[in-house]
């Protein structure tokens, strides 16, 4: 139980779930969210405190690249600051290799 006005500190499981929720609103592929907004969104939407130091990291950008959650999002430098973007693994069905490429005779010149 937390005292009034004091948020609980997020654990890894909470961080993962909240990040997935936040990133649902971000367009996959092109959309991103300023790194500086992440902590505020954790507080305003989920009423939990995202503390990188409580989870063993010196910086928020390092926390978001931790192996425990690096399949959820990616952090990259964009313009003057860091942004967080959803990680969208390409499904194998979308690969650009077609069957015709593998059976067409190779023409050497």
The pLDDT value given to residue 100:
57
- Indicate whether 108 belongs to any domain: no
- Residue 61: which domain range? 8-103
Percentage of the residues of the chain whose pLDDT score is greater than 70: 74
The pLDDT value given to residue 107:
63
- Indicate whether 1 belongs to any domain: no
- C-alpha 16/C-alpha 54 separation (Å) is 15
Q: How many domains does the chain have?
A: 1
User: How confident is the model over 90-107, as pLDDT tens digits?
Assistant: 555 544 555 555 555 666
Which CATH number goes with the domain that contains 86? 3.30.420.610
User: How confident is the model over 35-68, as pLDDT tens digits?
Assistant: 999 999 999 999 999 999 999 999 999 999 999 9
Determine the angle formed by the axes of helices 35-46 and 12-24, rounding to 10 degrees: 100
């Amino acid at each position: 139980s937390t005292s009034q006005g004091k948020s609980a500190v997020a654990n890894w499981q909470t961080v993962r779930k909240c990040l997935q929720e936040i990133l649902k609103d971000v367009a996959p592929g092109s959309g991103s969210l300023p790194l500086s907004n992440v902590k505020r969104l954790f507080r305003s939407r989920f009423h939990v405190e995202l503390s990188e130091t409580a989870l063993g990291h010196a910086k928020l950008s390092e926390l978001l690249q931790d192996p425990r959650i690096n399949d959820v999002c990616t952090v990259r430098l964009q313009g003057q600051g860091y942004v967080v973007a959803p990680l969208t693994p390409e499904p194998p069905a979308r690969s650009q290799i077609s069957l015709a490429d593998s059976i067409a005779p190779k023409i050497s010149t």
